């Protein structure tokens, strides 16, 4: 039957003599198109044909599962009129059709036009990404061989926990319970010949949150749970909203998504967690037109209940940031006046939101205030605030000391081009700050080490090892064990080639003298537009939770993953952060089949296999030749 409920999709259903449905309740999806034809072959299987500016075909068994490539195989690939006929023959089906002239074509039982075509797995290497808590279902397709039904198995690597491969149908299904990138090899056999192919599956956190503006990004804070916050601001002074979702330490949703605020306008927001009273503070521009103010809302970390919105600054301020002193529970809130040449202003609140200082000026320059960031230094009990203006080429900073004294303004970085977003972090191990920032004209991400007194340490440096088209600003975070990592979006794919249709999220480890990974680490190995990564401490001493937004339809969906840096650098197979002879031996064991293959770390030349050439490349690194 043909289903037109959601476009021209072709469905099939098997009904027995008693009128009972034998396949899925709503039929099995065969492909996209129209004018379906079905014929039962003498071998007991069904051949289904349809048109979609070409003639396509699929073979299915009595179980309703396809045998050939998902979406069908081409019988004829040019324009075809609607009227065509199919005829069963011993070793396949003959199709008769017209395209001004009358044509005939035979498709064999192996799904090709050639009975001797070799068995070939046709599904793309990169499988559609999966998500925690969401059902995954994908059939691996193949054609060729002798036309018998394939049997399937995983011969190298592993699927994520929660997924399994059906050896008869080739369907990968289940609910993923493990995050990250998984590489594995699947084989298909028709009883005579065998084919293998390597696949990659990325499993992420689907937060269920949306973002509605290209310049917007989610906010996140880590307490006993992770709190992700987004906004929806409706043009025209109608209702706008703030949404919140809690997640546990494994990335699973903790309760339902909440709407905690509704009013005419909600501006860009931020959130911080206070361990002193187990509360989160969200800061944002809100209110009724034209009487906008800077507001705050507390959310209880235990009950997840939101308090009432309260005024932090009784004036029209925007682009706020908030950071907490985890020892005394005081918050520093910084925001800018919403006007050209507007001042950056700050205020200190106690754990309950009561002002501990008057509102004070932090900086004032020409241009529109653009971005600020705050980092807390627990060693000196003080905050460093960085801030920028849209038409300037500088990042300025000021330290707010524990006694409330605001130190003199310092120039943290400058450029001959305009500087976009900047983000600060403090590293207790090095006792220094690090600022990452975006040069919009060059489309490059830079970073600079900042001493604890707010003075620059060394020169700025490029974060990325590539020079393609970096986008979406940059972000930086430090693990609880004291390692700092930067994140950004880039048009560069994993082969270093420009991809106009995609943005990928990359990571790089930051040291005192620059980026430490020899290659940027690709965090999201799949196509599509992914923007504005943000990161917070993860669920172990040396990992981070990274979130980003992906363009889907008219809005952006927020996804994430736990990034485990210790397994990031290629060649460091044993994860000891050094490439030495032990890594060479481990790679050799993989190359000769003694150990399971780890494509991420051992495939040095990115050819999809681990062999002696990869052993040689790791050896060259180990002895200092590369």
Does 180 share its domain with 152?
yes
- As a whole number of angstroms, the distance between CA 77 and CA 72 comes to 12
For residue 243, which of 255, 257, 224, 264 has the smallest C-alpha distance? 257
Rounded to an integer, the average pLDDT of 25-42 is 90
368 Cβ neighbours under 8 A, 6+ residues apart = 340, 342, 389, 390, 391
Rounded to an integer, the average pLDDT of 578-587 is 92
Does 98 share its domain with 139?
no
With a cut of 50, say whether residue 599 has pLDDT above it.
yes
Tokens of 238: 């109608």
Measure Cα distances from 236 to 66, 239, 264, 306 in Å: 50, 9, 8, 27
In a domain, 188, yes or no: yes
DSSP string of 409-471? PEEEEE-SS-EEEEEEEEETTTTEEEEEEEETTTTEEEEEEE-TTS-EEEEEEES-S--S-EE
Specify the higher pLDDT residue, 41 or 237: 41
With a cut of 70, say whether residue 3 has pLDDT above it.
no
Query: In a 3-state reduction of DSSP, which class is residue 298?
Result: strand
According to DSSP, the β-strands at 530-537 and 555-563 are unpaired
Compute φ and ψ for 563, nearest 5 degrees: -95, 120
Rounded to an integer, the average pLDDT of 397-413 is 94
Does 74 share its domain with 159?
no
- As a whole number of angstroms, the distance between CA 188 and CA 143 comes to 10
According to DSSP, the β-strands at 369-377 and 419-427 are unpaired
Measure Cα distances from 125 to 140, 275, 382, 446 in Å: 10, 45, 50, 33
Does 153 share its domain with 86?
no
Calculate helix-pair angle for 612-622, 581-591, nearest 10 degrees: 180
Of 155, 180, 203, the position where a domain reaches its end is 203
Does 164 share its domain with 190?
yes
With a cut of 80, say whether residue 569 has pLDDT above it.
no
pLDDT tens, residue by residue, 334-380: 999 999 999 999 999 999 999 999 999 999 999 999 999 999 999 99
For tokens 């207790």, the residue is 428
- As a whole number of angstroms, the distance between CA 30 and CA 59 comes to 9
Does 9 share its domain with 98?
yes
Question: Is-contact 142 104, C-beta < 8 A?
Answer: no
pLDDT at 290: 86
Residue 236's pLDDT band (cuts 50, 70, 90): low
Counting Cα atoms < 13 Å in the Cβ hemisphere of 82 gives 3
- As a whole number of angstroms, the distance between CA 72 and CA 57 comes to 5
In a domain, 214, yes or no: no
Specify the higher pLDDT residue, 401 or 80: 401
pLDDT at 164: 98
Tokens of 287: 């209110």
With a cut of 80, say whether residue 608 has pLDDT above it.
no
From edge to edge, which strands make up the β-sheet containing 2-3? 2-3, 9-12, 28-32
Tokens of 560: 């994430």
Rounded to an integer, the average pLDDT of 247-263 is 96
DSSP string of 546-614? EEEEEEETTEEEEEEEEE-GGG-STT-TT-SS---HHHHHHHHHHHTTSS---HHHH-TT-SSS--HHH
- As a whole number of angstroms, the distance between CA 214 and CA 216 comes to 6
CATH number at residue 191: 2.60.40.10
Does 7 share its domain with 102?
yes
Question: Is-contact 268 285, C-beta < 8 A?
Answer: yes
In eight-state DSSP terms, residue 523 is S
pLDDT at 600: 72
Residue 484's pLDDT band (cuts 50, 70, 90): very high
With a cut of 80, say whether residue 295 has pLDDT above it.
yes
pLDDT tens, residue by residue, 200-230: 999 999 999 998 887 788 999 999 999 999 9
Compute φ and ψ for 618, nearest 5 degrees: -70, -40
Of 203, 226, 256, the position where a domain reaches its end is 203
Residue 99's pLDDT band (cuts 50, 70, 90): confident
Of 180, 203, 226, the position where a domain reaches its end is 203
Does 65 share its domain with 137?
no
What's the total number of domains in the chain?
3
Residue 465's pLDDT band (cuts 50, 70, 90): confident
pLDDT at 217: 87
Q: Is the pTM of this model over 0.75?
A: yes
Does 98 share its domain with 148?
no
Compute φ and ψ for 506, nearest 5 degrees: -115, 160
Residues linked to residue 174 through DSSP beta bridges, in sequence order: 136, 163
Give me the long-range contacts of 76-83 (CB less than 8 A, separation at least 24). 76/103, 76/105, 78/54, 79/53, 79/54, 80/51, 80/53, 80/54, 80/55, 82/34, 82/35, 82/51
Which residue range is the domain that position 169 belongs to? 122-203
With a cut of 50, say whether residue 1 has pLDDT above it.
no
Question: Is-contact 375 422, C-beta < 8 A?
Answer: no
In a domain, 421, yes or no: no
Class of residue 624 by CB neighbours under 10 A (exposed 0-12, middle 13-18, buried 19+) = exposed
Does 143 share its domain with 198?
yes
pLDDT at 402: 85
In a domain, 568, yes or no: no
With a cut of 70, say whether residue 6 has pLDDT above it.
no
In a domain, 46, yes or no: yes
**Lowest mean pLDDT: which of 127-136, 258-267, 491-500?**
491-500
Helix residue spans in 503-552 (DSSP H): none
447 Cβ neighbours under 8 A, 6+ residues apart = 434, 435, 436, 437, 460, 461, 463, 474, 476, 486, 510
With a cut of 80, say whether residue 79 has pLDDT above it.
no
Question: Is-contact 49 75, C-beta < 8 A?
Answer: yes
pLDDT at 568: 52
**Lowest mean pLDDT: which of 5-19, 46-60, 87-101, 240-254?**
5-19
pLDDT > 70 in the chain, percent? 97
Compute φ and ψ for 469, nearest 5 degrees: -140, 80
In a domain, 252, yes or no: no
Residues linked to residue 487 through DSSP beta bridges, in sequence order: 475, 507
Tokens of 376: 């807390």
pLDDT at 235: 64
In a domain, 160, yes or no: yes
Tokens of 316: 């029209």
Rounded to an integer, the average pLDDT of 492-499 is 87
With a cut of 80, say whether residue 533 has pLDDT above it.
yes
Rounded to an integer, the average pLDDT of 523-532 is 92
Average pLDDT, the chain: 92
Residues 129-157 as b/e (b if ≥16 CB within 10 A, e otherwise) read: bbbbeeebebbbbbbbbebeebebebebb
Residue 7's pLDDT band (cuts 50, 70, 90): low
Instruction: Identify the sign of the CA torsion 121, 127, 128, 131.
Output: positive
Question: Is-contact 419 394, C-beta < 8 A?
Answer: yes
With a cut of 70, say whether residue 5 has pLDDT above it.
no
Rounded to an integer, the average pLDDT of 144-173 is 96
Question: Is-contact 127 141, C-beta < 8 A?
Answer: no
Does 88 share its domain with 140?
no
pLDDT tens, residue by residue, 310-336: 999 999 999 999 999 999 999 999 999
pLDDT at 541: 87
According to DSSP, the β-strands at 130-131 and 194-211 are parallel
- As a whole number of angstroms, the distance between CA 16 and CA 11 comes to 17
In a domain, 465, yes or no: no
pLDDT at 518: 81
pLDDT > 90 in the chain, percent? 74
Does 135 share its domain with 95?
no
CATH number at residue 90: 2.20.25
């Amino acid at each position: 039957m043909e289903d037109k409920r959601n476009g021209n999709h072709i469905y099939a259903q098997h009904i027995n003599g008693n009128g009972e449905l034998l396949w899925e309740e709503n039929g099995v999806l065969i492909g996209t198109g129209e004018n379906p034809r079905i014929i039962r072959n003498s071998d007991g299987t069904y051949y289904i044909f349809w048109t979609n500016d070409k003639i396509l075909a699929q073979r299915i068994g009595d179980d309703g599962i396809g045998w050939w490539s998902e979406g069908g195989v081409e019988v004829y690939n040019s324009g075809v009129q609607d009227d065509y006929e199919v005829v069963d023959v011993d070793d396949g089906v003959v199709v008769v059709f017209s395209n001004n002239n009358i044509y005939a074509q035979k498709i064999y039982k192996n799904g090709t036009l050639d009975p001797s075509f070799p068995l070939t797995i046709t599904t793309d290497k990169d499988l559609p990404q999966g998500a925690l808590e969401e059902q995954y279902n994908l059939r691996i397709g193949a054609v060729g061989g002798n036309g018998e039904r394939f049997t399937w198995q995983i011969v190298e690597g592993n699927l994520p926990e929660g997924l399994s491969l059906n050896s008869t149908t080739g369907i990968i299904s289940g609910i993923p319970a493990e995050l990250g990138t998984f590489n594995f090899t699947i084989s298909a056999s028709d009883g005579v010949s065998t084919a293998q192919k390597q696949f990659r599956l990325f499993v992420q956190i689907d937060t269920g949150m949306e973002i509605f503006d290209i310049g917007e990004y989610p906010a996140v804070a880590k307490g006993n749970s992770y709190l992700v916050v987004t906004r929806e601001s409706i043009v025209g002074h109608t209702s706008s909203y703030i949404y919140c979702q809690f997640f546990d330490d494994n990335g699973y949703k903790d309760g339902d998504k909440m709407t905690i605020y509704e009013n005419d306008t909600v501006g860009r927001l931020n959130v911080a967690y206070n361990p002193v009273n187990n509360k989160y503070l969200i800061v944002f521009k809100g209110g009724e037109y034209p009487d906008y103010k800077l507001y705050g809302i507390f959310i209880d970390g235990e009950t997840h209940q939101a308090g009432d919105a309260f005024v932090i600054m009784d004036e029209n301020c925007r682009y706020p940031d908030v950071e907490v002193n985890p020892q005394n529970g005081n918050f520093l809130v910084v925001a800018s006046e919403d006007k050209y040449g507007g001042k950056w202003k700050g205020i200190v609140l106690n754990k309950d939101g009561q002002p501990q200082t008057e509102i004070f000026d932090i900086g004032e320059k020409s241009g529109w205030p653009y971005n600020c960031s705050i980092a807390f230094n627990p060693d000196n009990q003080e905050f460093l605030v960085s801030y920028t203006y849209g038409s300037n080429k500088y990042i300025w900073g000021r330290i707010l000391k524990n006694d409330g004294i605001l130190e003199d303004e310092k120039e943290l970085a400058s450029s001959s081009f305009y500087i976009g977003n900047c983000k600060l972090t403090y590293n207790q191990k090095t006792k220094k700050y690090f600022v990452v920032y975006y040069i919009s004209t060059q489309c490059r991400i830079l970073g600079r080490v900042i001493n604890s007194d707010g003075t620059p340490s060394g020169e700025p440096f490029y974060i990325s090892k590539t020079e393609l088209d970096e986008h979406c600003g940059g972000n930086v975070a430090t693990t609880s064990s004291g390692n700092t990592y930067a994140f950004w979006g880039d048009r560069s794919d994993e082969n270093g080639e420009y991809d106009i249709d995609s943005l990928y999220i990359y990571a790089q480890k930051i040291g005192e003298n620059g980026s430490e990974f020899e290659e940027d680490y690709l965090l999201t190995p799949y196509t599509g537009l992914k923007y504005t990564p943000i990161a917070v401490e993860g669920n172990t001493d040396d990992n981070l939770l990274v979130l980003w937004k992906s363009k889907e339809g008219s809005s952006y969906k927020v996804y994430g993953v736990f990034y485990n840096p210790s397994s990031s650098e290629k060649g460091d197979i044993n994860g000891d952060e050094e490439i030495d002879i032990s890594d060479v031996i481990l790679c050799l064991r993989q190359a000769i089949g003694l150990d399971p293959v780890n494509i991420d770390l051992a495939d040095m030349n990115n050819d999809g296999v681990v062999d002696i050439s990869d052993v040689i490349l790791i050896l060259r690194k180990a002895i200092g030749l590369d």
